[in-house]
Amino acid sequence: MANVDVAVERLAQDGYRITGPRRAVLRAIAALDGPFTIEELTAAAPGVGRATVFRTVKLLHESDVVCRMVLEDGSIRYELARSGHHHHLICSQCNRVFEFSDPAVDALIQENAVSRGFRLAGHSLELYGTCAECASRAG
């Protein structure tokens, strides 16, 4: 539940009201304990309307409480942000997601943006492949 408390604190600091539905969505996210779809979150938060779940997830994403990732098949999943800025390694076999941070990668992305006169507002990076466990099962 500590992650829910941190999320509530972050929203309050950003000036957002902590409504009952928002709190219910946050509890459902914590209970899912891993990447989730909007549909999975809606099912995990009974009594909260689908539109409210969408709006809440959008707000949580904008406040850096959840991060958004695009799987290799184009589907979108979200997860509670557990660390600062990070990237994702996504297994194409089991869909597990591994977080990693690399300041050198971030610096290279920034350098590329600046060299093209691009004002970077943010970025995300998803790398697709096969995790060690799935690779070992494949032989």
Domain count, the chain: 2
pLDDT in tens, 46-64: 999 999 999 999 999 888 8
* Pair 74, 113 in one domain: no
Q: Is the pLDDT of residue 108 over 80?
A: yes
CATH of the domain at 48: 1.10.10.10
* Pair 98, 71 in one domain: no
Domain boundary among 49, 82, 115: 82
Q: Is the pLDDT of residue 1 over 60?
A: no
pLDDT at 62: 85
pLDDT band at 83 (very low <50, low <70, confident <90, very high): low
pLDDT in tens, 90-103: 999 988 888 898 99
pLDDT in tens, 60-82: 988 888 889 988 888 899 988 77
pLDDT in tens, 26-35: 999 989 878 8
What 3 state SS string does the chain have?
CHHHHHHHHHHHHCCCCCCHHHHHHHHHHHHHCCCECHHHHHHHCCCCCHHHHHHHHHHHHHCCCEEEEECCCCCEEEEECCCCCCEEEEECCCCCEEEECCHHHHHHHHHHHHHCCCCCCCCCCEEEECCHHHHHHHC
**What average pLDDT does the structure give for the chain?**
89
Range of the domain at 42: 1-82
- Our measurement of the distance from residue 5's CA atom to the centroid of its chain's CA atoms, rounded to an integer in Å, reads 17
Give the position of tokens 């909007």: 38
